[in-house]
Amino acid sequence: MGVSEWMEQDAATGADLVTKDRLVTAFRAAQSAHHEFEEHTLKGQRDEQWAGWYAGFVVGRLGDIAKPSELTEWLQEPTSGDDWHASAAENVLKHLKPPKAPGR
């Protein structure tokens, strides 16, 4: 890899490298880890702050793809379909990679 290619790759943000599949995998891992957290740490109580927990987990797993506070908000937005993980991933990608304006 040449120096210019390395610099370009290094300049890419985490958002440029995230895919739907990577997000779905991270959300499933977050769900599993969060379930453990609720069962053992919270003694079976539901965590009302789950979205912040997921956001921290996903940022830890995938890097700085977004500000945790923004990701927390996006995870709380309504999703469609039966697969929350896929719908949430699509929603996050919509925020990370908004459509380009015509002519760009």
Mean pLDDT for 70-97 is 94
Please state the rounded mean pLDDT for residues 19-24: 97
In the predicted structure, residue 36 carries a pLDDT above the cut 90:
yes
Helical ranges in 1-104 per DSSP H: 3-11, 14-17, 20-36, 50-62, 68-76, 84-96
Q: What percentage of the chain reaches a pLDDT higher than 70?
A: 82
Question: At residue 84, what are phi and psi to the nearest 5 degrees?
Answer: -55, -40
Query: What per-residue confidence (pLDDT) applies to 11?
Result: 41
Q: In terms of pTM, does the model score above 0.85?
A: no
CA torsion, ordered 63, 66, 69, 71, to nearest 10 deg = -90
**Given this model, what pLDDT does residue 3 score?**
37
In the chain, where the domains are located: 17-96
pLDDT in tens, 55-77: 999 999 999 999 999 999 999 99
User: pLDDT at position 4, please?
Assistant: 38
29 alpha-carbon distance from chain centroid: 11
Mean pLDDT of the chain: 86
User: Residue 15 and residue 60: Cα distance in Å, rounded?
Assistant: 14
Structure confidence at residue 104 (pLDDT): 57
Q: Is the pLDDT of residue 26 over 60?
A: yes
